Amino acid sequence: MAGDKLTTTEYIKHHLQNLTFGRHADGSWGLAHTPQEAKEMGFWAIHLDTMFWSVILGVLFLWLFGKAAKSATSDTPSGMVNFVEWIVEFIDDNVRGSFTGKNDLVAPLALTLFVWILLQNTMDLVPVDWIPQIAHLLGIQYMKVVPTTDPNATFGMSFGVFYLMIHYSFKIKKPLGFARELTMQPFQAKNPLLQLLFMPVNLFLEGIGLLAKPVSLSLRLFGNLFAGEMIFILIALLFSGGLIFGLLGGVLQWAWAVFHILIVLLQAFIFMTLTVVYLEMAHQEH
């Protein structure tokens, strides 16, 4: 696809464009056929490819772990069951080391986030032309297969975590306790009048820190995976430059894929770990 009909710029833009469904400028609803049409659809447009692959990989996660749970016995576990048990124990150990509160939701949430994000990130290791080319043969113009390279997906997950942070902050600390946490630190004073003057400053600083958590959580995941995808796309362009560049592209693609495995694993682990840490902070008084 890199060297068929598209220029280098068109090829890159094509691979970075989502399959977007929304409302056109004339009021009709349908798929965007150009990046400009997708932009004009605005906030309520839906990236169908992101939704599709997110759901498919989520169902795959549930099916694999459900199948492993049903096949688990007291005898020697099979390879799949053993692998699932190792992941569960790994997540459980990390949650116990970071979360000191009592909440039965945290460990399953951490497991879900880790495996789901890991599966989404792993799609970045699929050669960039394979699935878009199949989609093109089926009449689908755009197809991005890595949901975590779409900020809508990463922000959606981080906002879910942010909601849980706020929910448990109110539930555990009560509204007054949560308000004190935001207004009574980091600046403190024994003089009541001076402390009153510090309250808006504290609220500003703590508010920025609170709102920065979901933003940094989502942008960290998005930025690392988007950069990895971009490098794969640039390497793929070498295959249209002849035999020498094609061989070079093959070596570079293999080398970057091996290195990218670390990023795929690390970013899933970081998102999961920070989620547990943020929920720990929501359960504890400062």
* Residues with a known catalytic role: 216, 220, 224
Strand-strand pairing, 46-47 and 20-23: antiparallel
Cα(213)–Cα(159) distance, integer angstroms:
10
Q: Which H helix or E strand runs over 23? A: strand 20-23
End-to-end distance of the chain based on CA atoms, in angstroms?
56
Q: How many C-beta neighbours within 10 Å does residue 229 have?
A: 21
Type of residue found at 82: N
Give the start-end residues of each E strand in 190-273: none
From the list 272, 274, 275, 276, the residue with the least C-alpha distance to 116 is 272
Q: How far apart are CA 260 and CA 262, in angstroms?
A: 5
Neighbour count for residue 236 (Cβ, 10 Å): 21
Taking alpha carbons only, the member of 136, 128, 99, 133 closest to residue 226 is 128
- Burial readout 109-142 (b: 16 or more C-beta within 10 A, e: otherwise): bbbbbbbbbbbbbbbbeeebbebbeebbeeeeeb
Phi, psi of 26 (to 5 degrees): -85, 5
Cα dihedral 132/133/134/135 (nearest 10): 50
Distance CA 179, CA 207 (A): 11
